[in-house]
Amino acid sequence: MTIRIEELSKNYHGVDVLARVNLEIPTGAVVGLHGVNGSGKTMLMRAICGLIRPTSGHVYIDGVEVRAGASYPKRLGMLIEGPAFLPGYTALENLLLLASIRGVVGEDYLRGLVTMVGLDPDDKRKYRKFSLGMKQRLGIAAAIMEEPDIVVLDEPTNALDTSGVAMVKRVVSLLRDRGATVVLACHDFAVLKDLSDQIVHIAEGKIDEAYVFPDVIEEGYEHV
Ligand X SMILES: Nc1ncnc2c1ncn2[C@@H]1O[C@H](COP(=O)(O)OP(=O)(O)OP(=O)(O)O)[C@@H](O)[C@H]1O
Q: Which residues are at the interface with ligand X (CB under 6 A)?
A: 12, 17, 35, 37-43
Q: How far is the CB of 202 from ligand X (least distance, A)?
A: 7
Q: How far is the CB of 38 from ligand X (least distance, A)?
A: 4
CA 179 to chain centroid: 16
Cβ proximity to ligand X, 65 vs 81, nearer residue: 81
Q: Is 223 in a helix, a strand, or coil?
A: helix
Asked if residue 156 lies in contact with residue 168, where contact means CB atoms within 8 angstroms, the answer is yes
Asked if residue 187 lies in contact with residue 21, where contact means CB atoms within 8 angstroms, the answer is no
Cβ proximity to ligand X, 169 vs 187, nearer residue: 187
Q: How far is the CB of 224 from ligand X (least distance, A)?
A: 9
Cβ proximity to ligand X, 105 vs 224, nearer residue: 224
Q: How far is the CB of 221 from ligand X (least distance, A)?
A: 14
Q: How far is the CB of 125 from ligand X (least distance, A)?
A: 28
Cβ proximity to ligand X, 41 vs 135, nearer residue: 41
For residue 198, give every residue at least 6 positions away whose Cβ sits within 8 Å of its Cβ, in sequence order, or none: 29, 30, 31, 32, 211, 212, 213
Cβ proximity to ligand X, 35 vs 77, nearer residue: 35
CA distance 75 to 166: 25
Q: Pick the closest to residue 118 from 139, 89, 97 (CA basis).
A: 139
